[in-house]
Structures are given as C-alpha cells and as structure tokens.
Amino acid sequence: MESPSAESFLRQMATLQALERELTTLSQSGRLRGSLHLAQGQEAVPAGACAALQPSDYLTATYRGHGYVLAKGCSLDGVLAEILGKATGLACGKGGKMHLFDLSHGLLGTNGIVGAGVGSVVGAALTAKMDRNGRVGLTVFGDGAINQGHVHEAMNMAALYQLPVIFLCENNLYAEMTPLHRSHGNVNLLERASSYGMDAIQVDGNDPFKVYEVVKKAVDLGRSGGGPTFIEALTYRTVGHYQADAGTSYRTLEEIEEWRQNSPIKRLSARIGPDAEKIIDEADELVHEAVERALGSPDPDPATALQGVFA
C-alpha cells in the first residue's frame, strides 16, 4: 500500500471541513435538529488513520465520527441523508448523526455513548482471529473515554488474547469541557495503556502522514498476529463541544488561536502551495451539492419504524 499524497489528504480533510460548515448552517437554520458535535481542527486523524485500513477492516468511532466514516469510504450522500434523518441514509434515517452504520465498509457504528465502540471492535477482532479472515479493527475514542471501566476491560482482553485491534485515542486535552489534569489521576495515557501489555505510541495528530505511518504499522502488526496497539494522537478541537458551546469558558482565546494556526488544513495547504485553494473549493462544491440532494431525499416511511430494530 502506497502512502497517500498530500493532495489526497487535503481533499479528504477539506471535505470534512466543508461538511461541518454545511451542518452548522443547517443546524442554525433549524433544518438539522438536536445537538451537533463537530471536529474542526482534528481532520488529520481520520484522514491518516483510515488511509491505513482495508475496506473490509472494522471501524467504530465516537458521536463526532463522521470524518472517519467518510474517510473509510462510506458514501457522502448516504452520510448526509442519515444525519438529516432521510430514508436514503446509511441506516435509513434511523440512526441520525450520532449513529452512522455501514457494514459494507466495515463500519460497526459511531456511538453516542462514551467509549461504547471499543468493546464492539474488540468483539469483532476476536471474530477475525477465530475465523482467520485477516481483518483488523480500529476503534476511535477521546481522552475522556480512558476513564471508562469497560474501555480498560476491552484493552485488557485485547492484550490477553493478542487481538488485531488499534485503540486510537484522540487526545484534544479536554473531555467535553474538562481538562485532562482534572479528570485523570495519571495523565500519561501511554503508560496506562502499555500496562496491559501492548505497544503504546504517541503521534502528532495534526499531521496526516505521521498518523498514517503509525496506524499502518499497528495494522500490519495486528494483521500478522502481533496483537493490539494503543495510539495517542495529539490534536485539538478548535470549536466547542457542541454547537451551542463557544468553547471559551474553559479555554483561552489565545490557546484556541494558537491551535488554529497549527491546524492540519493550514499546515498541509502551506506545503502544497497555490493548488491547495482549488482542492478546498472543489470540496466545498462537492459537499454543497450533496447537501442539496440530501435535503430533497424522502423522509422514512413511518410503517418501517420497527424494521431492523431487533437483531
């Protein structure tokens, strides 16, 4: 597998950024209801991580995981339709923006419960090992999820049985509005993960190439029977926890601006040069057209409300 180009990474990240701008507009206009959780500033982690996966590999992510869903190859139209609750969405409009699901791309779901996807991927990885199908699982969660008991149980199980799992922690310094040092007795996340007997690596989460490299090594390790890896991606969410949170009651404006200047899209655009603007404009147009199609899609038929609810 060749490393993706700078242009392809920028296109992926710009698409996520454009999607979030469109979703913000939809939310402000009342056409998108409920809480909206954005990931601006963190675009490099999904772009780099998912580039290291095969289409059949498993993925779970947080309720802020639409970037991972797109980077895994799921349909932009399907994602937008699902977020808007349309019948043409990935889950026929029943999951909404927090619960995106697409088995055809290995997506076992984004989830509104903190850390819930960790156990799901460990279970899938156990299946992969038993079936010897060569698949690996990537589960994405925030630094706050590290304090969830079931996350530690899942990491211990993965290490004990040498399961093909990558635990990808987006450390953006805040669990919702709580800084790391106020919720973690030990803020050294690598130390906590490695204590279970797995490799633990820290990476610059604002560089898609570096993220790709460490995830690719972890994927290769898992696929060859070498067991799980914990990756701490250092990044920063430059918007609030949700759309009504300005993010300034617990962070300084100076801190936010410093990270904005170090954002993945700014950094990669500077590296690419003049062509970057064209790539970003094309992503904006692509997403805007997809939004218009999603808005025109049919609503779910109420008669199908109980279909697919029970396994």
Residue spans per domain, the chain: 6-25+36-296
Q: HSE-up of 105 (CA within 13 Å, CB side)?
A: 22
Instruction: For 179, list phi and psi in degrees, rounded to 5.
Output: -65, 155
Distance CA 300, CA 74 (A): 20
What's the CA gap between 231 and 267, in Å, rounded? 22
- Each residue's pLDDT tens digit, 128-179: 999 999 999 999 999 999 999 999 999 999 999 999 999 999 999 998 888 8
The DSSP call for residue 301 is: P
What mean pLDDT, rounded, does the chain reach? 95
Alpha carbon distance 119, 123 (integer Å): 6
Q: Could you tell me where the beta strands, DSSP code E, fall in 34-146?
A: 58-62, 107-111, 137-142
Maximum distance among all alpha carbons in the chain?
Answer: 53
- Residue tagged 């008991």 (tokens): 149
Token pair belonging to 267:
């950094």
What pLDDT was estimated at residue 177? 87
CATH superfamily of 6-25+36-296: Thiamin diphosphate (ThDP)-binding fold, Pyr/PP domains (3.40.50.970)
How far is the C-alpha of 165 from the C-alpha of 182, rounded, in Å? 29
pLDDT score for 306: 87
Token duo for residue 57 = 């590999």
Residue 169's H or E segment, with its range, is strand 165-171
Torsion of CA 40, 147, 109, 50, to 10 degrees: 50
Residue 157's pLDDT is 97
**pLDDT at position 311:** 57
CB 147 within 8 A of CB 167: no
3-state SS, residue 100? coil
Which residues make Cβ contacts (< 8 Å) with residue 155, sequence separation at least 6? 118, 167, 193, 196, 198, 228, 230
Q: What is the pLDDT of residue 245?
A: 82
User: Which pair of tokens denotes residue 119?
Assistant: 């156990």
192 CB neighbour count, 10 Å cutoff? 19
Q: Tell me how far apart the alpha carbons of residues 187 and 232 are, in angstroms, rounded to a whole number.
A: 12
Phi-psi region of 4 (alpha: psi -120 to 50; beta: other; left: phi over 0): beta
Distance CA 13, CA 24 (A): 17
Residue closest to 201 by CA, chosen among 210, 111, 88, 209: 210
Q: Which residues of the chain have pLDDT under 70?
A: 1, 311
Token pair 């409009």 is found at 93
Looking at this protein, which amino acid is placed at residue 70?
Answer: L
Q: Model's pTM, two decimal places?
A: 0.95
* Of 165, 174, 119, residue with least CA distance to 142: 174
The rounded percent of the chain whose pLDDT value lies above 70 is: 99
